[in-house]
Structure 1
Amino acid sequence: MPAVRGRLTPHAPLAPLVWFKAGGAAEWLFEPADADDLSDFLRALDPAVPVMALGLGSNLIVRDGGVPGVTIRLGKPFATVAPLDAVTLRCGGGASGILVSSTARDAGVAGLEFLRSIPGTVGGFVRMNGGAYGRETADVLVEAEVVLRSGERRTLAARDLGYSYRHSTLPDGAVVIAAIFRGDRGESAAIQAEMDRIAAAREASQPLRSKTGGSTFKNPDGHKAWALVDAAGCRGLRRGDAQVSEKHTNFLLNLGAATSADIEALGEDVRARVKAASGVELEWEIQRVGVASDHGEAA
């Protein structure tokens, strides 16, 4: 491995870092000291070594055999948010949705309240076009600063990211280190009221206090994924300690000792049942990474 100024850890367990609390280890976990440290590291790293960025691990299944290559986690140096003018914020790639929306509220910037409800970081929002409650990242992103797998730093306009529903064309191995979001002028009290409304709706409808991976399947055109899952009789369906949430059927849960293989296989059970019941083929929204263990199979 190239020399770094940050922290580079071999065989780092990833289960404690993801919401499901399951899965294997990273072959290497790199937490860069700053953007230059990240860029220098990637430039010197053998191009054949795979690279994956990890945010809060909220919409992720890490397979039990672990993740080969280098997993990059942006820590405190990248968890910053600062107003640029009356309606724009510069947000570090490691900043949470709560930090972004709260800073926007304090600055009187409306339109970013929906980020309060997405349990992830700016880097994940940009890559996956994260969204909720009728808005998505593509609606507010001006540009993103990324470090490519080659180590090159580049600024990409929102139009360059090929956004569609929960998808971008950001290259594999690229790491989002910052983004500029633009909202509208608003009153802090009204912004807080909207954030409170979103938080209450989320608390009422989602199993937030469970080991979960968030929204499991994308909504197919003309359908709600949760309704298709429910109609297929999957509410409460289990495989080992993996269960379809009874509160919100588009959430999978780890009841305690589920492996990632259990969770992923349960998701495939749900997809098969929905296809048989409705003819609709659900597409995973949760990202599944890594390799299967000797005792499990990857989908």
Structure 2
Amino acid sequence: MFNKPFNSSSFELQSKRLPNGLVGKLLSKGKVFPFAIATETISTAAVKDFPPSAMRKAEKDKIKPLFWNEEELFQESFSMWSQIYFMFSALVRVFLFLFLPLFYILLFVGLAFGEGGWDERKQDFYDVTLYIFIPLLIPYLHYKLVSQGYFFLAPFLRSKPLFRLNRTEGTVTLYKDNGEVNFTHPFIEFDCVLMSSPTAQGHLNYVLTLAHRYNNYSVGVPLHTLIGSNQMVAEYHRLWNMIQRYMDVSQPMPDIMVLEPSRSRDAITEAHDKCIKRPTRYWRDMSDEEFSETIEKIRQEQEENPSFGHVLNIFKDD
């Protein structure tokens, strides 16, 4: 039923999963993470790159709402043109800061120690500077301006919706490439599956997917985009725990930076914070150095603790 939030202490038991659906296919290649009573464990990989300075800038600029609040987690991805732009910008930086300096160094070394003088080398210098350095400098400066927040200079840099987790409604939504809704279903109707695949270098890449249990969809919700594909397995357990904690309206939201401004707007979380006398700006008043040290301390402490709490049996008996 839609518009009914997920509550780990009171939920409707679910039917068994379809053997021939996407989950069944994924099970042959991966491992299902169970529903459980979520703990305070967080995914440090998901939060470490958003320090207090970034939060203060986001609060000051107010250009765009935070992707995660008391109502929903809204994950976006880059459009095709955005990906092409960033790839091109990366190549430009490689040429500007690696190949061109190397060329100028070799040119002046040859000028200082080689045969011939400036007259024999000046044409190479002028050609490279005029036809390579200056043309590459223009897109580099454009990239720097865009990185500083001047997005009007790049109207083609548009993100597209990827998925949405709604805490207040208890739903999960996946979007198509064109931005239209692919599907929306209750959170409890999804299985969380971790799959791995080897790279050419022999390492393992991981994909953490929410697959709908009762429809034969060919795609799932890519939760791993929140932390990448190169984490330790335990970190995906912690991410799943953090997601469950967020979606479970019987519990306070995860205590992380991005959700701190929203804590007072969620009744359960606000009551919890008052009970433990949590400072309203615990994370935001830290320096970036203090934040990094705290996250690292949490990461080390969590290595000794279970990634989630008591496992829930969400299925009906046969």
Both structures adopt the same fold (TM-score exceeding 0.5):
no
TM tier, shorter chain? under 0.3
Larger radius of gyration between Structure 1 and Structure 2: 2
TM-score (normalizing by structure 2): 0.22
Higher strand share: 1
TM-score (normalizing by structure 1): 0.23
